[in-house]
Amino acid sequence: MVPAARLPVPLAVRPPPPHGPRPIASLRPLLGSPCIYATLRPAAAPLVLTRRGAKEHATISADAPAKVIDGKLVAKQVREEIAVEVARMKDAIGVVPGLAVILVGSRKDSQTYVRNKKKACEAVGIQSFEANLPEDSSEEEVIKHIASFNSDPSVHGILVQLPLPRHMNDENILNAVGIEKDVDGFHPLNIGRLAMQGRDPFFVPCTPKGCMELLHRHGVEIKGKRAVVIGRSNIVGMPAALLLQKANATVSIVHSQTKNPEEITRQADIVIAAVGVANLVRGNWIKPGAAIIDVGINPVDDPESPRGYRLVGDVCYEEASKVAGAITPVPGGVGPMTIAMLLANTLESAKRIHNFK
């Protein structure tokens, strides 16, 4: 009989449509797998970090349970550091960093994301600006708002909340954001600079930047290590692979057409999973002692939860945490880092524009 851990992935959620919410997977097919247990159990106690993050190396014996890379805690530290810098800048030169968010339409989830970004800005002293446009706006109207933020000296970062309505071309709109205010880092010139040797982008996309920050602050050595990124999207997988390469890792990318993904992943000292398939990465995909960053956020049915569902990552936490050296939980891993990195990019932009060190 094939051992359970070698069975094909039991819970495959089809890649989501480019717009609209991701489907909720069912836990039922997972019965009998430790992954169902993982999704119903709270994560292990968080690791307490020193101010700049624990400096010990994450490569530890496979016998010990993995250290939890606590994204909530690191994000809090990052936000506190940003608040100090924002206040220092205001005192020294009277400039307050500003972030403008453009929201088109009235999707509830997008409204929540925008509200959260605004709250996060307020908490660290960053000024926020908002343009709320109706669903049936034209591309020209959106671009007009972007242009006005491009030329507004109190705005240092511009973010267009995605997804945009279907009648709009994302590329046309994202390309209109001035590269020096592109705090999401999605402008092709920013991505191009990220890919090139000897060049640096103005901004690094927030989620992959958050992944790198978690690795750095947990003292995970990257130079010369083997890294595998699972997923190659423009917003997470591809820039994460470029960042790991820039940090001198030897990088492989596993995607939907990759043969033997588990064999390739098993060679990695560092794994970043950004797929959107619940519990895809099983314990036997993981090299003992590896550092695992799980970007995936997947809703799965959970009748015991008041909401009827709960969130799990792309990595089967229960299995992986027995093999890995360090691992991010879902939720509470990469998620909180994304907004923290947006604030960091906005501060960085204001400092660069005003040449403030």
Contacts with ligand NAD in 125-184 (CB under 6 A)?
A: none
Is 91 assigned a catalytic role? no
192's tokens: 């191009």
Neighbours of 235 (CB within 10 A): 18
User: 300 — phi, psi (to 5°)?
Assistant: -125, 145
Residue 83, helix vs strand vs coil = helix
Smallest distance, ligand NAD to C-beta of residue 2, A: 19
Query: Does residue 13 touch ligand NAD according to CB under 6 A?
Result: no
Query: Does residue 230 touch ligand NAD according to CB under 6 A?
Result: yes
Smallest distance, ligand NAD to C-beta of residue 244, A: 15
Question: Which residue in 227, 277, 240, 271 sits closest to 256, CA to CA?
Answer: 277
Question: What does the DSSP assignment read for 25-36?
Answer: BPSGGGTTSHHH
Query: Does residue 10 touch ligand NAD according to CB under 6 A?
Result: no
Region binding ligand NAD by CB under 6 A among candidate stretches 92-100, 102-110, 230-238, 340-348: 230-238
Region binding ligand NAD by CB under 6 A among candidate stretches 24-32, 91-99, 162-170, 225-233: 225-233
Smallest distance, ligand NAD to C-beta of residue 7, A: 15
Query: Does residue 216 touch ligand NAD according to CB under 6 A?
Result: no
Measured between alpha carbons, how far is 207 from 339 in angstroms, rounded to an integer?
8
For residue 255, the Cα-to-chain-centroid distance in whole angstroms is 17
Is 77 assigned a catalytic role? no
Contacts with ligand NAD in 281-320 (CB under 6 A)?
A: 295-298
Residue pair 176/139 in contact by the 8 Å Cβ criterion: no
Question: Which residue in 67, 27, 52 sits closest to 320, CA to CA?
Answer: 67
Is 161 assigned a catalytic role? yes
Smallest distance, ligand NAD to C-beta of residue 254, A: 5
Measured between alpha carbons, how far is 284 from 280 in angstroms, rounded to an integer?
11
Among the listed residues 67, 181, 182, 184, the single catalytic one is 184
Residue pair 340/79 in contact by the 8 Å Cβ criterion: yes
Choosing from 168, 236, 272, 293, the residue that interacts with ligand NAD (CB under 6 A) is 236
The nearer residue to ligand NAD, 207 or 345, going by C-beta atoms, is 207
Measured between alpha carbons, how far is 36 from 38 in angstroms, rounded to an integer?
5
Measured between alpha carbons, how far is 268 from 250 in angstroms, rounded to an integer?
9
Smallest distance, ligand NAD to C-beta of residue 171, A: 15
Binding site for ligand NAD (CB under 6 A): 15-16, 207, 230-233, 235-237, 254-256, 261, 274-277, 280, 295-298, 334-335, 338
User: Could you list the active site residues?
Assistant: 117, 161, 184
